[in-house]
């Protein structure tokens, strides 16, 4: 997620020729105004590319997808942290290392699957 100041990002978007829309970001708790780039892409200053949806069902689906992605990112970071801690121990437990490496691989595989689905 972009941790940049959203106001700064909004100014940047406007400089790029984006127009501010009446719609707000569909991500739960965000509510920032959306911007339309000259290329037609819809951008949230914090969440980046946003998918405009027509129905409530579609909205739920998109929100879910973004939530899953954010969760996976968090899980991935946590696993890397744990692995780092384990490696820094004088005598790391090999089975524990393998368990966490397995978990990391799984998270990355799911992320890849989601990405592939999107580009289709």
Q: Which two tokens stand for residue 86?
A: 């384990």
Secondary structure element (H or E) that encloses residue 15, with its range: helix 6-15
- Residues 37-56 close enough to bind Zn ion by CB under 5 A: 44, 46-47
Provide DSSP, 59-108.
Answer: HHHHHHHHHHHHHHHHHHHHHHHHHHHHHHSSS--HHHHHHHHHHHHHHH
Of 27 and 107, CB closest to Zn ion: 27
Of 34 and 107, CB closest to Zn ion: 34
**Straight-line distance from the first to the last Cα atom of the chain, in angstroms, rounded to the nearest whole number:** 23
Please report whether residue 9 would count as binding Zn ion according to CB under 5 A: no
Please report whether residue 82 would count as binding Zn ion according to CB under 5 A: no
Find the shortest distance in angstroms from Cβ 24 to Zn ion.
8
Of 27 and 79, CB closest to Zn ion: 27
Q: Which two tokens stand for residue 89?
A: 């121990």
Find the shortest distance in angstroms from Cβ 52 to Zn ion.
13
Please report whether residue 30 would count as binding Zn ion according to CB under 5 A: yes
Q: Is 42 helix (H, G, I), strand (E, B) or coil?
A: strand
Find the shortest distance in angstroms from Cβ 72 to Zn ion.
18
> Which residues are at the interface with Zn ion (CB under 5 A)?
25, 27, 30, 44, 46-47
């Amino acid at each position: 997620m972009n941790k940049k100041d959203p106001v700064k990002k909004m100014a940047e978007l406007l400089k790029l020729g984006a127009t501010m829309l009446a719609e707000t970001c569909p991500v739960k708790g965000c509510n920032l105004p959306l911007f339309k780039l000259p290329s037609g892409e819809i951008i949230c200053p914090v969440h980046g590319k946003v998918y405009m949806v027509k129905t409530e069902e579609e909205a739920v689906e998109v929100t879910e997808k973004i939530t899953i992605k954010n969760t996976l990112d968090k899980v991935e970071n946590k696993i890397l942290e744990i692995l780092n801690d384990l490696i820094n121990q004088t005598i790391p437990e090999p089975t524990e290392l393998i368990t966490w490496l397995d978990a990391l691989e799984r998270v990355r595989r799911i992320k890849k699957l989601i990405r592939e689905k999107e580009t289709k």
